[in-house]
Amino acid sequence: MTEITNFRGESSPQDTRDHTEASVDGLIVRVGERVREARQRRGIPRRVLSEMSGVSPRYLAQLEAGEGNISIGLLQRVAVALDHRIEWLVGEDDPWTSDAVRVADLFRVANADVQQAALRILSPEPAEALRAKRVCLVGLRGAGKSTLGARLGAAVDAPFVELNAEIEEQSGMPVSEVMALYGQEGYRKLEAQAVSRVIATHETMILAVAGGIVAEPETYNTLLSHFHTIWLRASPAEHMERVRAQGDERPMAGNPEAMEQLKSILTSREALYGKALAQFDTSGLSEDEAFARLKDLVLDRGFLST
């Protein structure tokens, strides 16, 4: 069939819809084939899989035949019952024969040293070339990212950028309004776009990012690959005290468990923050002391030059 295009040579809306429908149909068939093969490989009768997953035998039969448009929730139940990750059932690569899937699985369970070695081998460019002279400060609010980042930028004549300010400039509204209008998912999309923009426009810079960015794997991996990342640490008490010193009483207001929640967040993110190239603990240091030591760190490690 001849493709219908508009005057600029672009695909028509009808052609786009046809392509989308074909893609959806292909996905449904692929999911059914994967579920059937996974069930057969494990020697599980469909009736038993139905009991394990809570999905009816009739619906499972339709699913395996490529006729069941299953919801994400039900598919996750089936995946758990089959002891598979849901992405194995929906991805384009065959989970039993794909080298890419096998490498991803091995990478996921490898220790940090092995992961870094693998990235060095697979990266199309040397890590130092990708990172240029870009430094990114990560860590929870109150660690000193904004204060120390601004001073460091001035000292080495490098622009200092707060990622949230970049998001606000591009969106034309405060981050609080972005969250209210678009939710966490919308904010994360804008955050990822902002990271890509600053990489494209700065070879040398100091970037401060929000503490939760480490929970977004793709965005955080982009930071790790394109920036010399430094985890600014502090004790939970100092994190809280510094936020309150900025005039923000919200962390403690009406929440007697705020400190325990902060400790829990720190614990849950410790491994992610630990992927940074360097760590710097600001606990017990004055602003001047912390700045001097941070400056020495980035210069000694060759992250920046004066």
Give domain limits for the chain. Answer: 20-100, 127-301
- Residues at the binding site for Mg(2+) are 146
Instruction: Give residue 41's pLDDT.
Output: 82
- Residues at the binding site are 142-147, 188, 211, 250, 269
Question: Starting at the edge strand that comes first in sequence, how are the strands of the sheet with 204-208 ordered?
Answer: 160-162, 204-208, 133-138, 228-233, 278-281
Residue with tokens 């035998």: 57
Query: Strand, coil or helix: what is 243?
Result: helix
Residues 6+ positions from 302 with CB-CB distance below 8 Å: none
Instruction: Give residue 249's pLDDT.
Output: 54
Q: How far from 208 is each of 35, 212, 279, CA to CA, in Å?
A: 44, 12, 15
Instruction: Give residue 19's pLDDT.
Output: 65
What is d(CA 245, CA 204) in angstroms, rounded to the nearest whole number? Answer: 31
Could you tell me which CATH class the domain 20-100 is placed in?
Answer: mainly alpha
User: Is the CA virtual torsion 191, 133, 139, 144 positive or negative?
Assistant: negative
Instruction: Give residue 91's pLDDT.
Output: 80
What is d(CA 286, CA 293) in angstroms, rounded to the nearest whole number? Answer: 11
Amino acid identity for residue 237 in this structure = A
DSSP class of residue 279?
E
Per-residue pLDDT of the chain (306 residues; tens, 9 = 90+): 333 334 344 445 566 666 667 777 788 888 888 888 888 888 888 999 999 889 899 889 988 888 877 787 788 888 888 887 778 788 878 877 888 878 888 888 888 778 878 877 877 667 678 899 999 999 988 889 999 999 999 999 999 999 999 999 999 999 999 999 988 888 999 999 999 999 999 999 999 999 999 988 889 999 999 999 999 998 888 877 877 776 655 545 555 677 788 888 888 889 899 999 999 999 889 999 999 999 999 999 999 987
- In this structure, are strands 204-208 and 160-162 parallel, antiparallel, or unpaired? parallel
Q: Would you say domain 127-301 falls under CATH 3.40.50.300?
A: yes
- Residues at the binding site for substrate are 188, 211, 269
**What are the tokens at 98?**
């794909």
- Residues at the binding site for ATP are 142-147, 250
Instruction: Give residue 260's pLDDT.
Output: 82
Q: Are 233 and 143 in contact (CB under 8 A)?
A: yes
Instruction: Give residue 3's pLDDT.
Output: 38
